[in-house]
């Protein structure tokens, strides 16, 4: 072991933390609990007034005419893809650095995901790749606001407009983010959000789609309810039992008590995003002094909402690989993670769509170097310093 360096926990030394600090977690207070209890005591557990109230509040927050609540971010993406009419034979361009749901929802509709490479500095969709991947079958672009940073929408929207492509923003990481002062959720034709517990606000599981297009919104409201032309709440108000299934749909409804929780959480979103940004700033300052650690770059046009904080390791300045750094940080009590395995390398896509190594070299190289650090608003200043101390300790020990 090197002299003057503390012994790593992975080698039997004392860890920075005794208890593992997770990379993300929800924040629930008494107001949230009260809102859920009130909904549980009401006449409506699902498809009731809390759903509408949450949709209206979320649409106002992002600045769109419509919002449609569903039971997951995956359902939000699927409903979006259904609404715009993707079908067998169509293609949608998707960055390969994303969660698997971004692409699998295209497959749900029988269409083909076309994986595009990413910008090496931000790991966001490279706009030049859209034009490179275009074919006569391309119908849509799904731009992923990875980590909470909006994509380069000036260029992406220009490409979409010039080629008559629908723009869906996968904004599941980006509640509260802005691009050129415009709220994420109001930039594309539709935007999908996730309310999983590690996201900016939670409904347990849940999602939302925002759009200014009334026809898209109506299609998605039917789609989430088996594509029945009316929901139970509407029929109850009309005193009618009659309903018809008008297309293939799914049970993607979000409950009233979940929407009550979401509405309560939404009231705190600005302060939570600000806290995430404070944590990111402290990380940025600390890691500027560690040559082997490189945070992702942030565009001056972006107001980053930091669902995730990603560092890239400069492996040329280390004598071990990412896997060793990952295990060493976990041993120090820091619950690091990796987001994500490039989607085109998953066995399903390799077998179904003949994807594989070499198709997205920037993403493939980045994947070997990225690590996700803890990021959630309930982190104390002490928690933040623990992360910094652990990264510093491990980075110093393994540096060349």
289 in a domain, yes or no? yes
Q: Do 300 and 383 lie in a common domain? A: yes
pLDDT exceeds 80 at position 344: yes
342 in a domain, yes or no? yes
Among residues 51, 55, 48, 66, the alpha carbon closest in space to that of 237 is found at 48
What is the reported pLDDT for 246? 87
Q: Do 228 and 314 lie in a common domain? A: no
65 in a domain, yes or no? yes
What is the reported pLDDT for 234? 67
What is the reported pLDDT for 1? 35
Helix 30-40 and helix 256-266, axial crossing angle in degrees, nearest 10: 150
How many domains is the chain built from? 2
4 in a domain, yes or no? no
Q: Do 90 and 226 lie in a common domain? A: yes
Q: Do 160 and 242 lie in a common domain? A: yes
Q: Do 152 and 123 lie in a common domain? A: yes
257 in a domain, yes or no? yes
Cα-Cα end-to-end distance for the chain: 13
CATH for 374: 3.90.1150.10
CA distances (Å), origin 376, targets 22, 38, 274: 9, 27, 11
Alpha helices in 26-72 (DSSP H): 30-40, 49-62
Residue with tokens 């990380």: 283
CA–CA distance, 274 with 68 (Å, rounded to integer): 26
Known catalytic residues?
A: 199
Q: Do 169 and 283 lie in a common domain? A: no
ω into residue 27 within 30 of 0, thus cis?
Answer: no
**pLDDT band for position 22 (50/70/90)?**
very high
CA–CA distance, 248 with 222 (Å, rounded to integer): 10
Q: Do 252 and 299 lie in a common domain? A: no
334 in a domain, yes or no? yes
Residue with tokens 């008590």: 257
37: containing domain: 30-266
1 in a domain, yes or no? no
Q: Do 107 and 17 lie in a common domain? A: no
Which pLDDT tens digit goes with each residue over 66-107? Answer: 999 999 999 999 999 999 999 999 999 999 999 999 999 999
Mean pLDDT of the chain: 96
Q: Do 240 and 295 lie in a common domain? A: no
Q: Indicate the pairing of strand 370-373 with strand 302-303.
A: unpaired
pLDDT exceeds 90 at position 5: no
Residue 58 is given by DSSP the state H
CA–CA distance, 86 with 108 (Å, rounded to integer): 10
Of 266, 293, 328, the domain-final residue? 266
What is the reported pLDDT for 240? 74
Q: Do 348 and 374 lie in a common domain? A: yes
Of 216, 241, 266, the domain-final residue? 266
Its pTM stands at 0.95
Which pLDDT tens digit goes with each residue over 234-268? Answer: 667 777 767 889 899 999 999 999 999 999 999 99
179 in a domain, yes or no? yes
Q: Do 229 and 341 lie in a common domain? A: no
Contact 56, 78 (CB under 8 A): no
Of 266, 293, 315, the domain-final residue? 266
**pLDDT band for position 368 (50/70/90)?**
very high
Q: Do 232 and 293 lie in a common domain? A: no
CATH for 177: 3.40.640.10
Which pLDDT tens digit goes with each residue over 270-328? Answer: 999 999 999 999 999 999 989 999 999 999 999 999 999 999 999 999 999 999 999 99
């Amino acid at each position: 072991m090197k002299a003057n360096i503390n012994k790593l926990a992975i080698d039997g030394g004392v860890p920075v933390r005794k208890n593992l600090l997770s990379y993300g977690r929800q924040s629930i207070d008494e107001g949230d609990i009260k809102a859920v209890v009130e909904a549980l005591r009401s006449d409506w557990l699902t498809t009731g007034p809390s759903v509408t109230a949450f949709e209206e509040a979320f649409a106002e927050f992002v600045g769109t005419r419509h919002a449609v609540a569903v039971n997951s971010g995956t359902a939000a993406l699927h409903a979006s893809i259904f609404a715009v009419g993707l079908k067998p034979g169509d293609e949608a361009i998707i960055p390969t650095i994303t969660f698997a749901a971004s692409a699998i929802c295209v497959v749900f509709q029988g269409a083909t995901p076309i994986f595009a490479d990413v910008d090496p500095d931000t790991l966001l969709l490279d706009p030049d790749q859209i034009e490179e991947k275009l074919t006569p079958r391309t119908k849509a672009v799904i731009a992923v606001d990875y980590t909470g940073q909006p994509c380069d929408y000036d260029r992406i929207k220009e490409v979409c407009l010039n080629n008559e492509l629908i723009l869906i923003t996968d904004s599941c990481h980006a509640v509260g983010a802005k691009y050129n002062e415009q709220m994420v959720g109001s930039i594309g034709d539709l935007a999908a959000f996730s309310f999983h517990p590690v996201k900016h606000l939670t409904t347990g599981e849940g999602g939302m789609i925002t759009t200014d297009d009334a026809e898209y919104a109506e299609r998605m409201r039917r789609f989430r309810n088996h594509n029945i032309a009316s929901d139970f709440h509407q029929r109850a108000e009309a005193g009618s039992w009659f309903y018809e299934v008008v297309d293939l749909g799914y049970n993607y409804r979000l409950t009233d008590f979940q929407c009550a929780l979401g509405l309560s959480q939404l009231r705190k979103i600005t302060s939570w995003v600000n806290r995430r940004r404070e944590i990111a700033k402290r990380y940025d300052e600390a890691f500027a002094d560690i040559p082997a650690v490189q945070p992702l770059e942030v565009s001056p046009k972006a107001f980053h909402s930091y669902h995730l904080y990603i560092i890239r390791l400069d492996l040329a300045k280390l004598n071990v690989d990412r896997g060793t750094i990952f295990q060493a940080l976990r041993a120090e009590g820091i619950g690091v993670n990796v987001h994500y395995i490039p989607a085109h390398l998953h066995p399903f896509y390799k077998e179904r769509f003949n994807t594989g190594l070499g198709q997205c070299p920037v993403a493939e190289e980045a994947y070997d170097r990225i690590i996700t650090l803890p990021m959630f608003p309930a982190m104390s200043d002490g928690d933040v310093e623990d992360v910094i101390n652990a990264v510093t300790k491990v980075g110093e020990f393994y540096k060349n």
